[in-house]
Every structure is written in C-alpha cells, then in structure tokens.
Amino acid sequence: MWNVGQLYQSYSFLAGYGGYIFGNGGKDADDIGLSNAESIAGAEFFRSLNKILPVNSNDMNDNIITGFFMEGKTAAIIGGPWLMTDVKSAGIDFGVAPLPLLPNGEHPQSMSGIRALYVSSYTEYPVAAKLFARYATSRKNLVKRYEMTTQLPPRQDMMEEPIIKGNANALAFLEQTKHSAPMPSIPEMGNVWVPAGAALAAIWNDNQQPGDVLKKAVEQIKTAIQTKK
C-alpha cells in the first residue's frame, strides 16, 4: 500500500517512465511535463496497479497505511525514513528495500526532500541564533538526531558514519536516493499538489484515461500560476 492519491509518493511511477513536473531540473515553471507522453505511460502503469490494490484512494492515507502495516494487514508499504521510528517502536520486524524496477526496466524515480533548519535574520539575538544553528547542524548532533529519529542527515559527508553505514535499512534508503529527483522548490510548486492529486484519484478510482486527466490537471496548474502572477 501507499498513498496513491498523493503526488509525492505516486510521482515515482510517472518519473520512472521519463515524466517530470517542471523542466530544467524543476526550475522552469513554463515547462510542465506532467502530461507528456512519458508521464502518461507511467500513469497507465500506475492505473494497472489498482487491480492488485482495489481500494479507493480516499481510504488510503498515511495513518491508515502505517496502521495496517503494524497490524500485519498489508505486507509492504511505500514510505520514507520518517516511518522507521514508529514501526521500530511498535516492535515490528521489518526491512527496507529500494523500489523495484518498472516494467520498462527502469528504476522508479521517487521524489526527494530534505528537512532544513532556519534562524531568523530579524532576531534580536543574532549571535545566539548562529550558535544554535551551528550546534544543531554539527556532525556530533546530527548523529545524535539520527539516533533519536532515524532520519538521514542532509550531509553527504556523514554517509560514512558507522551508525549509518552499518544500518541496512538506512543503506536501502540511500540506494533509492540514487534514483530520485528533488522536489521542485520554486513557488509555482504550490499550485501543483491539488490538481495532480485530483488527477491521480480520477485515474485510480474512476479508471479515467490518464492522458485526458493529466492534460486537464496541467491546464489547471497553468491557470493557477498565471492567476497568481
């Protein structure tokens, strides 16, 4: 199971066939690739999976999916490192693996993101703010944070830390990051989630044609972007 109506998780099927959200590595909002031939091919495969998971997308949110997994009602789920703490705390014997190859022989291209820490430039205590930022992002404390949360630190130089390198589950997530695309960080991305989610739901729940649905979603995204300019 996975949250099929959420673009963040279902994007891997579209991108694995060559689809994308914005061109130029997610920076060109004038080039929307969610309805190109590659995205449509990925959506066709996405739609075919409903045959083995015939559940309405509205009945599959992250809490339900995680609960089913912990109760032994589903064998495998798609998620991120943030799930490991809860699953481990529940005493579940689990393992992590990269997403399997698609029928076209390519890796699913999952969407990736990082957690960032910011301090305000308007603070009355700029020195203290900088000290806190350095403290929280130091190698020692990022290792400690990983111990507490199992969330991988956003620093390439830390991947060789024994606590990470010796964890098979962490290595599986790192392997998947080789086949991932950063979530676009431009403001226009805010206009994508709702139309894309509605399109995925229509494809999944109502067996609608991916080409028609995705083209409609792209038109809605373009209109929303133009309206906000």
| Gap between the Cα atoms of 109 and 11, Å rounded | 7
SS3 181: strand
pTM of the model: 0.88
Q: What percent of the chain has pLDDT over 70?
A: 100
- Supply the mean pLDDT for the chain: 93
Lowest mean per-residue pLDDT among 45-54, 64-73, 188-197: 64-73
In this structure, which amino acid lies at residue 46? Answer: F
Q: How far is CA 144 from CA 147, 149, 150, 152, in A?
A: 5, 9, 9, 11
